[in-house]
Each structure stands twice: as C-alpha cells, then as structure tokens.
Amino acid sequence: MPISEQFFHALVILNLLFVTAAWCLARPSLPAAAAVTVVAVLWSRFNGPIEGRILFSFNVAHGVTESDLLSVVAVLIAVVGVWRARRSR
C-alpha cells in the first residue's frame, strides 16, 4: 500500500525542521535562524497528515495540535540562535 503524497511531503518538511534546528543549535547564525523559522512556518501549514491529537480548539474547524508545538519549539530555537549569534560578536 503506497503512502499518500501529502504524508511524504509532511515527512520531508519534518526532517527539514529537525536538520535546520540542529544547524541553528550547532552553528548559531542569522541565516540558520531564518531557515528554522521558514521551515517552522512550512511545517505549521503542511503537517496535516501527521497532526496528532487536538490540544486546544478555537472553533470546530481550527485548533492547536500536538505537531503544531514543534513549530513553537523551532521558533524558540531560532530566537536562541539569534541571541547566541549576536552575543558572540
């Protein structure tokens, strides 16, 4: 049984999120932080096939899921990366 195209794209973006977050933590810089932020936004838009449980509902059609928290963590990593990059100068 083949996997759906949306599921595959979500997995690719998830891997990109992990790679860019690791890059930002290992070598903090403004380009690394920007990359993490861009991929975090992509993840929040395309994580549909592997969203997980709904943690908070705004209305019937919108809410915060478990996988949306990865975007929040990624943006926090980007903020820490910017802070560390500016501090090292």
Q: What is the pTM of this model?
A: 0.88
Place of tokens 């560390």: 84
pLDDT computed for residue 3 by the predictor: 85
d(CA 21, CA 36): 6
* Chain segment 17-65, per-residue pLDDT in tens: 999 999 999 999 999 999 999 999 999 999 988 888 889 888 887 888 8
Question: Which is nearest to 23 in space by CA: 89, 78, 72?
Answer: 78
Residue 51: helix, strand or coil by DSSP? Answer: coil
Rounded to the nearest angstrom, the gap between the alpha carbon of residue 30 and the centroid of all alpha carbons in its chain is 17
Half-sphere exposure of 11 (CA within 13 A, CB side): 6
Q: What is the mean pLDDT of residues 71-85?
A: 96
Q: What are the sequence ranges of the domains in the chain? A: 5-88
pLDDT computed for residue 41 by the predictor: 96
In sequence order, the 6+-apart residues with CB closer than 8 A to the CB of 55 are 63, 64, 65, 66, 68, 69
pLDDT computed for residue 17 by the predictor: 97
pLDDT computed for residue 62 by the predictor: 81
Residue 89 has pLDDT above 80, yes or no: no
What's the residue count for the chain? 89
Residue 83 has pLDDT above 90, yes or no: yes
